[in-house]
Structure 1
Amino acid sequence: MFLVTGATGSLGRRIVRQLRDQGKSVRAFVRLTSNYEELEDRGAEIFIGDLKQDKDIAKACQGVKYIISSHGSGSNAQALDYRANIELIDCAKENQVEHFVFISVLGVDRGYQDSATFKAKREVEKYLMKSGLNYTILRPSGFANNLLPLAERFRETGIYLLIGDPQHRSSIVSTDDLATIAIASVETSAAKNRIFAVGGPNILTREDIPRIFARLFNKEPIIINPPLALFDGLRSGLGLINPQLQKSLGTLRTLLAHEFFCTAEEIALLEFTFNMQMESLESFLLRYLGSN
């Protein structure tokens, strides 16, 4: 039995789908307000709970062999990115879980202080490594599925909003590939007690993304490129009205201000360890959106 948290998120949903396609038992941790009907139809065991409630986590962990922590935090990094994962790790130990897969984030070890999410995930990594559990920590770059709505908007308008330095590099990862790796980690001996950077096979600059859209949809891109200083100004203005919102934008600001890409050596290690070829962003978009 796999326990998957964040089971209705973009990554968690894909993990549950793949597990069920492989005929494996999976318990999907979901909120009552989320859309989990598809997962239930696929044969997943639905566990309705709240990751901010320790008793719900304790119940969800009973009788599971593997845990894949794939939930996000929204605007509550303290409760969800940090506290819920610490409780999951403790309950995994109590229930003698055989392997714990934690979805972290690329760059988590760089000490970015403006992002509560980065700080929380790094502390969880350290706690997991000291826990005595068998683990795999995956540090993905940006998720390819996050670009789907941007691509659809580009197809309609030809407009692409690019905030910050167009030359900053990224390694957008196929969200389907990340799900495959998360599942395979529990049975891959070379992934035991290891940390992997996870990205796509190509290092892309930010301005490469609208060019990919342009090729897919045969449409000349109109790139709007406001400076990061404009975002900072808007964030500061919002902080006068809502200081909590200003803080919650710290992770987005971190992502906009820095590069997040995997080296060729990191991708080669990933492909060798999991015996797979990572999918390019262009291939991912073509699969989901086709072309014009």
Structure 2
Amino acid sequence: MILVVGATGQVGTAVVRRLVARDETVRALVRPTADHETLTRLGVDLAFGDLRDEASVRAACEGVDVVVATASAAVPRRGDDLAAVEDAGYRNLFDACEAAGVEQVVYLSVPESPVEGRAATTRYKRRNEVRLLDSGLTYTVVRAAPFMDTWFAAIGSSIPLRGAEHATLDRPFWGTRLTRRLTGTLVENRGLALVPGAADRRHAFVSVDDVAAFLVACIGHADAENAVLDFGGPEAVSWREVVETYEEVLGRDVRAVYVPTVVLAALQRTVGLVLPTAGNLLGMARFVAASDTDADPETTDAIVSVPRTSVEQFLRERAELPDYDEMHIKRDPAVGTGAA
């Protein structure tokens, strides 16, 4: 049996779909208050619980062979606390995996960066990697490059969210909701992109679907055991090239406003003093702005080969889908006005 932790999220849902397509026996750790309609429809076993609740995590891990862990509270849901989920919560999970005799843990992480210690999310990711390596569990750590689905939307485009299932940016967090409402269609409607970092900053941007495929392919693969793998798209692409691809896809000029790393750092420090969760998200933007992520498909292909979606292919395929529902970026009246 395979347990997916984070199964109601964007990556987790894609992982579950692929596992079901392979006729695997799947269990999903789901909060009682979460929307689990998709998982119910897929016929997976639901283990109601929460990473913050040690007893429920231990119960979910009983009889499990493999755990795929994608849960993140960087963009929080109601009631989320980043440290409680990504620090203490993952400690609960790994302890439960050891107690249950889980054979493999596949953990989704982030690439290394000179500024990775400046954002809480990246600090917790690296801490969890160390926990796994020291645990005695068989592990696969997948350090995924920036997601096209998230970061292309973050520059002011609704195209990456077309057809997205349980999109991270759709979570009811006031900060992302407000940002999406103000900037969600700037690229398409005004030909303006708000880019974190310099024009020549390069990333091996990767699609959520490709990451999900890779996580699933790592399950039970001997060469993926006790390995830390950097996974990205087919090539490293600069932000300038991303903007140029948007111009080709949309058939219009797109002007980029490049937000310097020093500006993002100042915003992170200032906002983070009052709103830690929003400050963490600015820290993630700083993380993306501060250093490149390289594409080296041959290295990961030698372990597990999965198709890689290019930036152009991703944007053209998404652009052909129906317009993103504007209702998704309107503020939810039930959402509070403070950080989680």
Q: Distance in 1 between matches of 2:117 and 2:305?
A: 36
Compared CA separation, residues 229 and 73, structure 1 to 2 (3 A): same
Secondary structure in structure 2 of the residue aligned to 1:125:
helix
Q: Distance in 2 between matches of 1:102 and 1:245?
A: 22
Aligned equivalent of 1:143, options 132, 141, 147? 147
Q: 2:92 maps to what in 1?
A: 87
Q: 1:4 maps to what in 2?
A: 4
Shift of 1:203: 0.7
1:97-176 alignment runs, 5 A limit: 97-107=102-112, 110=114, 112-147=116-151, 149=153, 150-152=157-159, 153=185, 154-176=187-209
Q: 1:24 maps to what in 2?
A: 24
Shift of 1:18: 0.7
Q: Structure 2: which 5+ runs fail to align?
A: 160-184, 323-340
Aligned partner of 1:65: which letter? D
Q: Deviations over 1:37-59 (max 9, x none)?
A: 11210111222222111112111
Q: How many residues align?
A: 288
Secondary structure in structure 2 of the residue aligned to 1:277:
coil
Shift of 1:148: 5.8
Shift of 1:204: 0.9
Shift of 1:277: 3.2
Q: Distance in 1 between matches of 2:125 and 2:272?
A: 25
Shift of 1:273: 1.4
Q: 1:221 maps to what in 2?
A: 254
Question: Among the aligned pairs, what percent are the same residue?
Answer: 25
Compared CA separation, residues 291 and 214, structure 1 to 2 (3 A): farther
Q: 2:289 maps to what in 1?
A: 257
Secondary structure in structure 2 of the residue aligned to 1:73:
coil
Which has the bigger relative contact order, CA under 8 A and spacing at least 6?
A: 2
Aligned partner of 1:283: which letter? Q
Secondary structure in structure 1 of the residue aligned to 2:64:
coil
| 2:146–2:288 Cα contact (<8 Å) kept | no
Shift of 1:245: 4.6
Shift of 1:99: 0.8
TM normalised by structure 1 equals: 0.89
Q: Deviations over 1:23-78 (max 9, x none)?
A: 11111122233322112101112222221111121111111111011001236432
TM normalised by structure 2 equals: 0.78
| 1:65–1:99 Cα contact (<8 Å) kept | yes
Aligned partner of 1:288: which letter? R
RMSD of equivalent CA atoms: 2.3
